[in-house]
Amino acid sequence: MSRPDNRDFKRLFLADTPMMDTRSPGEFAEGAFPQAVNLPLMLDDERARIGTCYKHEGQQAAIALGHQLLQGAIKKARIAAWLDFAQTHPEGYLYCFRGGLRSRISQQWLQEAGIDYPRIIGGYKAMRRFLIHQLELSAQHRFIVVSGQTGCAKTRLLQGLADAVDLEGLANHRGSAFGKRLGGQPTQIGFENALSIALLKRRHAAPQAAIVLEDESRLIGRIAVPEVLRESLRQAPLVVVQMPLPERVEHTFHNYILRNLADWQAYAGELSGFATFAEELRQNLATLQRRLGGYRHSQLLAEMNAALAEHARGNPDAHRFWIEPLLRDYYDPMYAYQLGLKAERVVFRGSYAEVAAYLGEER
């Protein structure tokens, strides 16, 4: 029995329903949903040609051109990809931009191939509008913001909490000048979509519980935290993780050195991965040169280069010699100043374990 078309966006997102996005690759790249797979009806150049035809000759001529372009082996290949998705995800749905012609054609071709597959009414545009509204509703929810000096393992703490949303994870960036992650960042729209869905899930799972977020600046890498959410977070109570400098150096060393290098070498191979990792470290430090000052930057760069030379010989331990002064002399004073501006919002201070226990009780 075939399933009906669907416009229950909330249920679709809460269930992580698989979605077949039939928009062009260019449209998908601008913004998509976490559970969507791009299996386009038309590629970008095909869509551009049909769009030009529609503009100058009207809808019927554009449809005729579409059928001319999408026939034979091209049509068979696209239907085969859709059939594979539909058979792998029988609970899924398909959509195009507005839920109109492209998704109906995709439905029809699948039907002719023997599968009735439902579409999402209103398409991407309606779902995007829904998520923008949900983000505005989420911004009215109760929040707790976790703060702490660089290297306090705040992200790891959040990942252990049921009611937390990891902004840095969604942005695929650790937040600092050294925070780039392999794979790059999503688009701004893609980040907002994923954030809205994550907040919706937290609100649905525990409507009365505060949602825990990390204290972030306006930008996480190149991704902007939506202003409607930032305004709420500026009023939220603050919980501060306190950790001794040696422990923060170790956490930074393991995450920004050992883990980053392992990621790069798994992606690019041992030698090429190390070279890329080393160059990225130097570039990250260079972005701080103006704020560090020329003398302090040159000192840290010399320590970094010496550590990289040792690391290339198999001993990564010397990285601690530049990580410690960078944390102590650059990040810590900046953090102290920023926290001073928010002092009246602090409701709890404690060690990693104490903050984790406090947040568990707060839930």
Give CA separation, 338 vs 99, 245, 321, 331, 341, in Å: 47, 18, 26, 11, 5
Token reading at 221: 């890498």
CA dihedral 290, 295, 297, 298 (to 10 degrees): 130
Residue 182, φ and ψ in degrees, nearest 5: -60, 140
What is the model's pLDDT at position 101?
Answer: 81
The fold of 9-128 is: Oxidized Rhodanese; domain 1 (3.40.250)
Pairing of strands 223-224, 93-95: unpaired
Instruction: Confirm whether 9-128 and 139-363 share one CATH topology.
Output: no
pLDDT tens digits, residue range 267-299? 999 999 999 999 999 999 999 999 999 999 999
Q: How long is the chain?
A: 363
CA distance 221 to 177: 8
What is the model's pLDDT at position 1?
Answer: 57
Residue 222, φ and ψ in degrees, nearest 5: -105, 5
Q: Answer whether 178's CB lies under 8 Å from 256's CB.
A: yes
Residue written as token pair 């404690």: 350
pLDDT tens digits, residue range 214-273? 999 899 999 999 999 999 999 999 999 999 999 999 999 999 999 999 999 999 999 999
The verdict on whether 96 is a catalytic residue reads: yes
Q: Which CATH number fits domain 139-363: 3.30.70, 3.30.110, 3.30.60, 3.40.50?
A: 3.40.50
Question: Domain extents for the chain?
Answer: 9-128, 139-363
Give CA separation, 225 vs 119, 191, 216, 361, in Å: 31, 9, 8, 28
Higher pLDDT, 76 or 182: 76
Average pLDDT over every residue of 183-201: 96
What is the model's pLDDT at position 131?
Answer: 98
What DSSP string describes 231-261? HHHTTS-EEEE---HHHHHHHHIIIIIIIHH
pTM to 2 decimals? 0.91
pLDDT at 106 over 60: yes
Burial 7-43 (b: 16+ CB within 10 A, else e): eebeebbeeebbbbbbbbeebbeebbbebbbebbbbb
Q: What is the mean pLDDT of the chain?
A: 92
What is the model's pLDDT at position 174?
Answer: 85
Average pLDDT over every residue of 319-324: 96
Among 146, 284, 280, 266, residue whose Cα is nearest residue 215: 146
Cβ-based neighbours of 203, under 8 Å, separated by 6 or more: 137, 138, 141, 211
pLDDT at 41 over 80: yes
The residue from 96, 131, 153, 327 that is catalytic is 96
CA distance 157 to 179: 17
pLDDT tens digits, residue range 132-165? 999 999 999 999 999 999 999 999 999 889 889 9
- Beta strands (DSSP E) in 131-276 are 143-148, 211-214, 219-220, 223-224, 238-241
Give CA separation, 281 vs 6, 273, 274, 322, 327, in Å: 48, 12, 11, 11, 15
What is the model's pLDDT at position 222?
Answer: 92
Cβ-based neighbours of 274, under 8 Å, separated by 6 or more: 261, 264, 265, 311, 312
Give the model's confidence band at 363: pLDDT under 50 very low, under 70 low, under 90 confident, else very high. Answer: low
pLDDT tens digits, residue range 45-83? 888 888 888 888 887 888 788 778 877 899 999 999 999
Residue written as token pair 């320590």: 303
Residue type, 114: G
pLDDT tens digits, residue range 18-37? 999 999 999 999 999 999 99
Residue written as token pair 């060690």: 351
Give the model's confidence band at 327: pLDDT under 50 very low, under 70 low, under 90 confident, else very high. Answer: very high
